[in-house]
Amino acid sequence: MTASEGPTVGTLVLLRHGESDWNAKNLFTGWVDVDLTAKGEGEARRGGELLREHSLLPDVVHTSVMRRAIRTAELALNAADRHWIAVRRSWRLNERHYGALQGKNKKQTLDEYGEEQFMLWRRSYDTPPPPIDDNDEWSQVGDPRYALLPTELMPRTECLKDVVERMLPYWYDSIVPDILAGRTVLVAAHGNSLRALVKHLDQISDEAIAKLNIPTGIPLRYDLDPQLRPLTLGGTYLDPTAAKEAAAAVANQGR
Ligand SMILES: O=C(O)[C@@H](CO)OP(=O)(O)O
């Protein structure tokens, strides 16, 4: 980690949702709107306690439009006694759309396609999985929450590059103004949408981002300078030991 000198303009806190039903079942999830497990609810509450213990109290929260992120934000903010802050949501913070892999078991996919193809789909920057069929039971076509989304923006699959491209307009238009106003901003989202944001913030190369995994439920703090560059590259997890272990577990999924 390197630190640069200079004034802080604002503080960003990234929080990946707690364990979901499909994390527990080891299934590719993407845009499927699964709920938190009891363990995931506990992780979300613990995330909020960490915020309180570190006096890191959000003024505003941005979430995806998916239940697991929305509920994580609510549970965490409740635990931090900040349940009353302003909330904004966008599909642009959604998890990466996992295409035809949605609903598939990660271990079975690894066994069927082999390590190289599995990791290409999971962690390469620019290789999306095959697109999901509109009639697939795990397709989001027809989901009312995307009714106003122009058809050409509705993904059928995404690689991380696609996520960076669809996430950045929301970052610049909605999150950055809150940061520049000096607010402490909580973003409650997903493993891959947060990897996309961290890639942008830390200017991580297309190759190196493959190795970065974000643990569930542990707040990651970024203090940003006026150019929105992190004062500490990689940010700071509020519980670094737990974060290291949990990130390694994410990396090993499927095995
Ligand atoms: O299934 C998913 O949508 C994601 C996050 O849970 O998984 P992965 O870490 O394999 O990209």
Which atom of ligand 1 is the closest one to the Cα of 20?
Answer: 6
Q: Round to whole Å and give the CA distance between 202 and 195.
A: 10
pLDDT at 5: 55
Question: Quick one: pLDDT at residue 2?
Answer: 43
Counting other chains too, the contacts that 18-22 makes at CB distance below 8 Å and 24 or more residues apart are 18/42, 18/43, 18/44, 18/47, 18/68, 18/72, 18/75, 18/216, 18/217, 19/43, 19/216, 19/217, 20/68
Query: How many angstroms separate the CA atoms of 127 and 242, rounded?
Result: 31
pLDDT at 8: 80
**Whether residue 191 has its Cβ less than 6 Å from ligand 1:** yes
Q: In this predicted structure, what is the pLDDT of residue 78? A: 98
Q: Give catalytic residue positions.
A: 17, 95
CA distances (Å), origin 136, targets 61, 141, 142, 239: 33, 9, 12, 40
What's the gap between Cα 73 and its chain centre? 12
| ipTM, 2 dp | 0.96
Q: Ligand 1 centre and the CA of 180: distance in Å?
A: 31
Domain 10-251 sits in CATH at 3.40.50.1240
Q: Are 97 and 29 in contact (CB under 8 A)?
A: no
64 CB less than 6 Å from ligand 1? no
Cα gap 41→38, rounded to integer Å:
5
CB-CB contact of 4 with 231 (8 Å): yes
Q: Across the 255 residues of the chain, what is the mean pLDDT of every consecutive 10-residue run? A: 63 98 97 98 98 98 98 98 98 98 98 97 97 98 96 97 98 97 97 98 98 97 96 97 93 83
pTM over 0.80: yes
Is the distance from the beta carbon of residue 30 to the nearest atom of ligand 1 less than 6 Å? yes
The answer to whether 185 and 179 have CB atoms below 8 angstroms apart is yes
Interval between CA 129 and ligand 1 midpoint (Å): 12
Residue 3 has what pLDDT? 47
